[in-house]
Amino acid sequence: MRSSTPSNLSAFHNEPFTDFSSMENKRAMHEALDRVRIELGHTYDLIIAGSDLQTATTFNSVNPANPSEIIGIHYVASAKEANAAVDAAQSAFAAWRKTPFAERSALLVRAAELIRQRHFDLCAWLTLEVGKNWAEADADVGETIDFLEFYAREALRLDAATTPIQYPGERNLFHYVPLGVGAVIPPWNFPLAIMAGMTAASIVSGNTVVLKPSPDAPTIAARFLALMEEAGLPDGVINLVQGGPEVGRTLVEHPQVRFIAFTGSKKVGLEIHERAARTQPRQHFIKRTILELGGKDTIIVDADCDLDAAVDGVTASAFGFNGQKCSACSRVIVESPIYDIFCDRLKERVEALSIGTPAENFQTGPVINEVAKKRVLDYIAIGKSEGRLLTGGSAVEMPGNGYYIAPTVFIDVAPTAKLAQEEIFGPILAVIRSGNFDEALAIANNTEYGLTGALYSNSRKKLDRARDEFHVGNLYFNRKCTGAMVGAHPFGGFNLSGTDSKAGGPDYLTLFTQAKSIAEKRGYASDSREEQQ
Ligand code: NAD
């Protein structure tokens, strides 16, 4: 149904970052951590059609900095609960698809306001459940607010879409309608922003969803759903099931699931792509997949650049949240004339990073779990045969027995080495030497990925060439390759980095809708608006 409610929303602005050097904000964060600690270890139900549901099995979500600390206990959904959740979403779709865009948009704005009020508490949950330090947690919460506010406005823009041409003798209408029931499957590393962003885009477009969070970050998702209910979410519009690949596969293959919004690894994304392509008995549509996957993100450091800025940018991009970002810089290509000095400065800069518990706001902390720790240590072993260790290269023992690994840099890595080709998703950086800019660009484009990249250079000619030839979805000049801002840097990758959906961009919501074109021959029935008068 088209809405006649005019928008009273102000222009979109990115949520400001919190200044944690202020005593007041430091105190607020400590108080939030104390408040959240009292709530640790609760058991969270599955939510289907607005009702709580328990199953026979549970799993624990733990603090990666202190795995004996249980953050939340969650019921595991089986195929039975996944199917019930799809049925609930299908029933809720009948009314939700007819709810005006303006009402759906207003729900997102109310939720954004509740998140603002609980900003520090949500930061504390992120710190404790996935090991983000304060600034990383703050960026995740800020991006969540941005997604909600941005999609609230984009929904109104979609609602106001007009028909390009009125054909003579006809009344022509072109408008966007929702797809149906969606499965939303987020990763653990932006457990609030990406989870909430994909969910919010789905529902503001008129779809209903089954949300299956990552088993490494189930508590944040459960708390987000409670917050959405508080903001006025009708029953069944978002249904929550918890679990791993099994429940994910059930949703992907379900004949009533019209679309899958997935962010995660290349391996799982490609599996989803394949499964979703197979038409199931009783399925009456071609499933749509919105897949945002991994990266092997590169920064090129040109001989003619601001070296300090490059060293800072590479360090922040490679080791922010311990390299556990799809956009993290995992290889840096440095031109020969500055190679040695760059490596010296990088070593100094990386060794100055503090390592310790995220709750006490150290710069680098633990990786997410035991499996990730082993994977990263395996890549360190590979790196020792593929390059020269510049710094790091081992696990770090800390009180709490968290999954800490020292920020690690290998130099003299060949462009085709495993370390230069495979996504590691941890605190390892490979440094590659290049003879000239042509070679640097060729190396930058030599992986199967194409997510983010950056170039540090003072040469306009080189920046222009990179604009044209550096083949990534998000390209940055003279700044880090992480930290995309909603609206300013719509986010999504090329090649096997995904379907380039551009989250936080002007085309995103169209992925969650289908456009309907209606042509009515004039002269047979009065205009419904005329009838009302
Ligand atoms: P993952 O692929 O292991 O898991 C992602 C989600 O898929 C989880 O909810 C998981 O339970 C679920 N899942 C696992 N197997 C499944 C299956 N067979 N069918 C259906 N669902 C299944 O990824 P992760 O470890 O949670 O996240 C890290 C990955 O995500 C990295 O590769 C990173 O680059 C990528 N990532 C990409 C972006 C982006 O925007 N491109 C953003 C963040 C993270």
Report, as an integer, the average pLDDT of 459-468: 98
For 323-382, what is each residue's pLDDT tens digit? Answer: 999 999 999 999 999 999 999 999 999 999 999 999 999 999 999 999 999 999 999 999
pLDDT recorded at residue 111? 98
Residue 343 annotated among the catalytic residues of the structure: no
For the CA of 216, the closest atom of ligand 1 is 26
Query: Which one of 61, 265, 317 would you pick to mutate in the ligand 1 pocket, going by the greatest count of ligand atoms within 8 A of its CB?
Result: 265
The whole-angstrom separation of Cα 335 and Cα 198 is 39
Choice among 326, 329, 343, 481 that is catalytic? 326
| 2 confidence band (pLDDT: 50, 70, 90) | very low
Q: What is the pLDDT of residues 64-112, one digit of tens each?
A: 999 999 999 999 999 999 999 999 999 999 999 999 999 999 999 999 9
Q: In terms of DSSP H, where are the helices of 131-179?
A: 134-159
| From 136, 154, 253, 292, active-site residue | 292
pLDDT at 229: 98
Rounded CA separation 481/312 (Å): 12
Q: Are residues 315 and 212 in the same domain?
A: no
**Strand pairing class (408-411; 388-391):** antiparallel
Residue 526 is predicted with a pLDDT of: 80
| 418: Cβ contacts below 8 Å, ≥ 6 apart | 379, 382, 386
Q: Are residues 110 and 178 in the same domain?
A: yes
Question: CATH code at 424?
Answer: 3.40.309.10
Same-domain pairing of 257 and 302: no
Residues 159 and 265 in one domain: yes
* Residues 412 and 273 occupy one common structural domain: no
At 171, which CATH number?
Answer: 3.40.605.10
d(CA 434, CA 216): 39
What would the two tokens of residue 248 be?
């994910």
The single-letter code of the amino acid at 382 is: I
- H helices within 172-326, ranges in order? 193-204, 218-230, 245-253, 266-277, 307-319
Taking the centre of ligand 1 as the mean of its atom positions, its distance from the CA of residue 189, in whole angstroms, is 9
My answer on whether 150 and 217 are in the same domain is yes
Does residue 442 sit within a domain?
A: yes
Task: Tell me: pLDDT of 531 over 70.
Answer: no
Domain count, the chain: 2
- Closest atom of ligand 1 to 498 CA is 41
DSSP class per residue in 456-481? E-S-HHHHHHHHHH---SEEEESS-S
Instruction: Find the residues whose C-beta lies inside 6 A of ligand 1.
Output: 185-190, 194, 212, 214-215, 244-245, 248-249, 252, 263-265, 268, 271-272, 292-295, 326, 423, 425, 451, 491, 493, 497-498
Q: Does the residue 21 lie in any domain? A: no
Same domain for 242 and 327, yes or no, is: no
- Dist. CA 506 → ligand 1 center (Å): 24
Q: 301: closest CA among 327, 339, 329?
A: 339
Based on the fold, state whether residues 360 and 469 are members of the same structural domain.
Answer: yes
Atom of ligand 1 nearest to the CA of 243: 11
pTM over the 0.75 mark: yes
Rg of the Cα trace of the chain?
Answer: 24
- Residue of 194, 251, 268 to test ligand 1 pocket, by largest number of atoms within 8 Å of CB: 268
Q: Which residue's CA is the closest to the ligand 1 atom numbered 32?
A: 265
The string of pLDDT tens digits covering residues 3-17 is 444 457 999 999 999
Residue of the nearest CA to atom 31 in ligand 1? 265
- Whether 232 is covered by a domain: the verdict is yes
Nearest CA to ligand 1 atom 23: 264
Q: Distance from the CA of 325 to the center of ligand 1, in angstroms?
A: 11
* Same domain membership, residue 223 and residue 323: no
Q: Report CA torsion sign: 461, 502, 332, 143.
A: positive
**Does 326 reside within a domain?**
yes
327 token code pair: 């956009």
How far, in Å, from the CA of 12 to the mean position of ligand 1? 29
Residue 92 domain boundaries: 43-293+498-518
Claim to verify: residue 81 and residue 190 sit in the same structural domain = yes
Tell me what pLDDT residue 8 has.
Answer: 77
Task: For the beta carbon of residue 2, count every other beta carbon within 10 angstroms.
Answer: 11
Q: Give the closest residue to 227 by CA, choosing from 70, 388, 111, 77.
A: 111
Compute, in angstroms, the gap from residue 268 CA to the centroid of ligand 1.
Answer: 6
Q: What percent of the chain has pLDDT over 90?
A: 97
Q: How far is the CA of 324 from the centre of ligand 1 (A)?
A: 12
Mean pLDDT of all residues belonging to the chain: 96
Q: If you write DSSP's letter for every residue of 507-532 in order, what string do you get?
A: TGGGGGEEEEEEEEETTSS--HHHHH
Stretch 233-253: mean pLDDT: 98
